[in-house]
Amino acid sequence: MSEVYLIISIFVATFLVLGIVVILRVRKRNEQVKSEKPGYNADFKNDWYDGVSKQINGLKTALIAKDYKKFRLNLLLCLAQRVAGSSSECGQCMLFQQDITALVRDMGNLIQVDDRKERKAYFKSINKILGHLQKSHKLVTEGYYVGICMALGSGIGVALGSVMDSIGSGVPIGVGIGVAIGAALDAKAKRDGRVICTRETTASGSVPGAGHLLR
Ligand SMILES: [Zn+2]
């Protein structure tokens, strides 16, 4: 039994070292590329987007912070930017522009009148746009890969733990490896400009790709 344990430990240690090496390399490349490449559509603007972002920013000053967060207006702004960036080559994104225009126009009503059905429809529309961007344009939300890899890792950890006769020590190892791999993939997605709403855009409402929070 102890032999098996030793082999698994070596195996796991190798994976951990590999994971750390991958993260360090991705980070290094990230630093190098950051200054040269603004990222896919990160700074995209058109007249439609300018109008929508002005309206949403206007709502930001008018609404209490709780409502702004509750109705996911930061996300809506990010979605609007992505949709605008793809609207010239994607018919669906072009249609979503009209949807977003209507959503923003009716926002005041939606917040004032407590209509559950309308609110449900609003969030459904947002999720539909988000789903399209994820599926058809291969975009991800921030921390997407960490979430997936952590879940996968904990599953593997349980299996590992049962081989080692101690599930309690298998799970943290699996989760640790999962987080390491997920963080590397998230960093890569960010470098490729595939993250829909980065923390920087969420925090300030502008300046995509500032990157200071990543370090
Ligand atoms: Zn599209």
User: For residue 139, how far is its CA from the centre of ligand 1 (angstroms)?
Assistant: 11
Give residue 112's pLDDT.
Answer: 87
User: For residue 91, how far is its CA from the centre of ligand 1 (angstroms)?
Assistant: 7
Give residue 39's pLDDT.
Answer: 41
User: For residue 49, how far is its CA from the centre of ligand 1 (angstroms)?
Assistant: 15
Give residue 42's pLDDT.
Answer: 53
Largest CA distance in the chain: 68
Label each residue of the chain as H, E or C.
Answer: CHHHHHHHHHHHHHHHHHHHHHHHHHHHHHHHHHHHCCCCCCCCCCHHHHHHHHHHHHHHHHCCHHHHHHCCHHHHHHHHHHHHHHCCCCHHHHHHHHHHHHHHHCHHHHHHCCCHHHHHHHHHHHHHHHHHHHHHCCCECCCHHHHHHHHHHHHHHHHHHHHCCCHHHHHHHHHHHHHHHHHHHHHHHHHCCCECCCHHHHHHCCCCCCCCCCC
Check if the beta carbon of residue 129 is closer than 8 Å to that of residue 76: no
User: For residue 197, how far is its CA from the centre of ligand 1 (angstroms)?
Assistant: 16
Give residue 2's pLDDT.
Answer: 66
pLDDT, one tens digit per residue, over 84-131 is 999 999 999 999 999 999 999 999 889 888 899 999 999 999 999 999
Q: What pTM was estimated for this model as a whole? A: 0.69
User: For residue 129, how far is its CA from the centre of ligand 1 (angstroms)?
Assistant: 8
User: For residue 85, how far is its CA from the centre of ligand 1 (angstroms)?
Assistant: 9
Check if the beta carbon of residue 44 is closer than 8 Å to that of residue 81: yes
| Segments of the chain scoring below 70 in pLDDT | 1-4, 6-8, 28-44, 199-215
Check if the beta carbon of residue 129 is closer than 8 Å to that of residue 141: no
Residue 46 vs residues 110, 155, 182, 191: alpha-carbon distances, Å: 26, 45, 34, 23
Give residue 29's pLDDT.
Answer: 65
User: For residue 97, how far is its CA from the centre of ligand 1 (angstroms)?
Assistant: 10
User: For residue 135, how far is its CA from the centre of ligand 1 (angstroms)?
Assistant: 9
